[in-house]
Amino acid sequence: MSETRRTEAFSDGVLAIAITLLVLDLRVPVRGALEGSLAEALGHEWPTYAAYVTSFLLIGIIWVNHHAVFELLGAVDRIALFLNLLLLMTVAAIPFATSLFAEYLTAGGAAARTAALVYSGLFLLMSVTFALLYAYVARRPALLAASVDPVAMRASIVRFSVVGLALYSLTMVIAVFSAPATLVAHIVIALYYCFRQTRAVS
């Protein structure tokens, strides 16, 4: 197996574990402890469901983008490996940030805003590490597959990196004022990228 395929396989494993761990926060209402109907109990858990779906989509999007980048590579060097590890470090922490955000989303006050800042900050950090990885390999023709145009690769840095950095930076500003609005902002980002990915495939 080539070094790029080994790196991609390891990355796929980390991403798969992170996206699976998200489901552990989906709690089943205890039958003997219900205060009202089951529907009401499930409705009470809406922050957990919303945070789960949002984080699932965002991890899925980074997986699609990560796969797209590695399809363009013919080799990786030590710096690219470490940049990839930094990206995976942020992804591995997403289940924690998601759980924290869901728990305090409706708490109101400073606690809710702090949880929103942690959530937004982690996704911003993920975007930064992905941008660093992409920019690094895009400027190293020796790492690119023979069929890849280095000039076109460098030109695509804005589309793959700068837009994400701008969007996630905006969520940090929103998080200072409102946790629910922060959730909405991340949902919009997830839907935006899902639409972009679908159009790219088609």
pLDDT in tens, 64-91: 989 988 988 989 999 999 999 999 999 9
Query: Are the C-beta atoms of 87 and 69 separated by less than 8 Å?
Result: no
Q: What are phi and psi of 144, to 5 degrees?
A: -85, 150
Give me the number of domains the chain comprises. Answer: 1
Helical H runs in the chain?
3-21, 38-44, 46-71, 78-92, 94-104, 109-138, 150-155, 157, 163-177, 179-201
Q: Which of the four pLDDT bands, split at 50, 70 and 90, describes residue 202? A: very low
pLDDT tier at 198 (50, 70, 90 boundaries)? very low
CA atoms lying within 13 Å on the CB side of residue 93: 15
Q: What is the pLDDT of residue 199?
A: 41
User: Tens digits of per-residue pLDDT, 88-129?
Assistant: 999 999 999 999 999 999 888 999 999 999 999 999 999 999
Which tens digit of pLDDT belongs to each residue from 127-175? Answer: 999 999 998 998 888 888 878 777 777 767 766 678 889 999 999 999 9
DSSP letter, residue 139: T
Q: How far apart are CA 167 and CA 160, in angstroms?
A: 12
pTM (predicted TM-score): 0.88
Per-residue pLDDT, 197:
57
Q: Compute and round to an integer the Cα radius of gyration of the chain.
A: 19
Range of the domain at 125: 3-201
